[in-house]
Amino acid sequence: MFGVGTPAMVAAAEKAGTLGSLPLGDLTYEKCVDIIRATKAITTQPFAANIFVYDTPALTDELKHQYKTTRSFLEQLAAQHGLEVTLPDIESIKVAGYREQVDALIAENCRIVSFTFGNLDAESVRRLKQNGACLIGTCTTIEEALILEQSGIDLICVQGIEAGGHRGTFTPGDIPSIGGMSLLSQVFDKVKRPLIYAGGLYDAKTILAARTLGAKGFQIGSMLLGSTESALQDFEKQRLRQAQERDIILTNSFSGRYARGLRNIYTAAVDNTPHILPYPYQNKLTGPLRTAAKAKQNAGFVSIWAGQSLNGYPAISTTDILQQLIDQLNQSPV
């Protein structure tokens, strides 16, 4: 969980005997190396290193123009709500391609590599596998699952519409739609690779349902948002705990890709307007706005990602949250 998951969360997940996942998003080579090393320093078990795999859209004149107008729209919106912030101009935006992250993962000998937003190119698959890596790709449609399988990806994470955070869809402009139950069951019928399910899991019965539909592994996201190892600030955790079901929406206004999280002043003002650039430009543009909002503890302008299963977001360690889930499963009659 980029922005929320930490090396400490990875270590805590491993204490419960589960596989921790280290979010590297679209960080540069150097940052990836630093975070991987910080994680290795506090874990003894293997962990999954997770990256965003996408190709950056070309910077056309039209996009540059849209960037300029979006930038001034967002600065004005923020100012109206007491947030004085200067957003970056397009020339100062740096986008690290995922291939440099692949270099970092190979240099650091990462043996489990998971990814979302798209599929790795054949050369990256070859290089990572030559280095002994097990690859986990994310799908949000049956078609994407088949593409991952055909590319030799070892395990497939099936992400249901319920999931918190960004949709792993390969086609970012599409409004995501298929529900987790329909998706998992059909992917299981059509692909041979072992499946991990992600989306809405919060107790033994939801995990058992995913197992019945064909999952061999279970990915837990939102349940860990309030944990002691979560990088969310206290005001964000408090906001989450107050959330009602209708507060959880899909929005592309923060990053240019659809993600599930809490609605707020920002999403109400920007969703469904022309002021949404393609990923990663929107994401880079709104980054300093979200940082300024965090500094002021202003929940109206931060992106708090969360899935559809409101779960109380326990304020205990990741180890205890996961151990309690495992205990529930072990005690379950099925």
Position closest to ligand FMN via CB: 221
**Dihedral sign from CA coordinates of 190, 194, 200, 204:** positive
Residues in Cβ contact with 160 at an 8 Å cutoff, skipping those fewer than 6 apart: 178, 179, 180, 181, 183, 184, 197, 198, 199, 200
Cis peptide bond prior to 288, omega within 30° of 0: no
Closest Cα partner for 11 from 33, 42, 49, 34?
A: 42
159 binds ligand FMN (CB under 6 A): yes
Three-class SS state of 237: helix
Sort strands 165-166 and 21-25 into parallel, antiparallel or unpaired. Answer: unpaired
Q: Which of 101, 116, 251, 317 binds ligand FMN (CB under 6 A)?
A: 116
Closer to ligand FMN by Cβ: residue 77 or 97: 97
Minimal distance in Å, beta carbon 305 to ligand FMN? 4
Closer to ligand FMN by Cβ: residue 20 or 70: 20
163 binds ligand FMN (CB under 6 A): yes
Closest Cα partner for 167 from 116, 221, 207, 130?
A: 116
Q: Which positions from 58 through 97 interact with ligand FMN, judged by CB under 6 A? A: none
Closer to ligand FMN by Cβ: residue 77 or 328: 328
Q: Which positions from 7 through 36 interact with ligand FMN, judged by CB under 6 A? A: 23, 25
Q: How many residues bind ligand FMN (CB under 6 A)?
A: 25
Q: Which positions from 295 through 314 interact with ligand FMN, judged by CB under 6 A? A: 305-307, 309
Closer to ligand FMN by Cβ: residue 7 or 199: 199
162 binds ligand FMN (CB under 6 A): yes
Closest Cα partner for 247 from 333, 174, 307?
A: 307
Question: Which two structure tokens, joined as six digits, stand for 323?
Answer: 């151990």
Closer to ligand FMN by Cβ: residue 21 or 319: 21
| Range 54-62, long-range pairs (CB < 8 A, 24+ positions) | 54/26, 54/98, 54/117, 54/118, 54/172, 54/279, 54/280, 55/97, 55/118, 56/95, 56/97, 56/280, 57/278, 57/281, 59/90
Closer to ligand FMN by Cβ: residue 70 or 252: 252
Minimal distance in Å, beta carbon 85 to ligand FMN? 22
Minimal distance in Å, beta carbon 328 to ligand FMN? 16
Question: For residue 296, what are the CA distances in angstroms to 16, 75, 159, 289, 301?
Answer: 35, 16, 33, 11, 10
Which span sits near ligand FMN by CB under 6 A: 80-88, 90-98, 146-154, 158-166? Answer: 158-166
Closer to ligand FMN by Cβ: residue 67 or 96: 96
Q: Which positions from 197 through 256 interact with ligand FMN, judged by CB under 6 A? A: 198-201, 219-222
Minimal distance in Å, beta carbon 326 to ligand FMN? 16
Which span sits near ligand FMN by CB under 6 A: 11-19, 144-152, 195-203, 317-325? Answer: 195-203
For the sheet with 195-198, list strands across it.
21-25, 48-52, 112-116, 134-139, 155-159, 195-198, 217-219
Q: Using CB under 6 A as the criterion, which residues of the chain lie in contact with ligand FMN when the complex forms?
A: 1-2, 4, 23, 25, 50, 116, 138, 159, 162-165, 198-201, 219-222, 305-307, 309
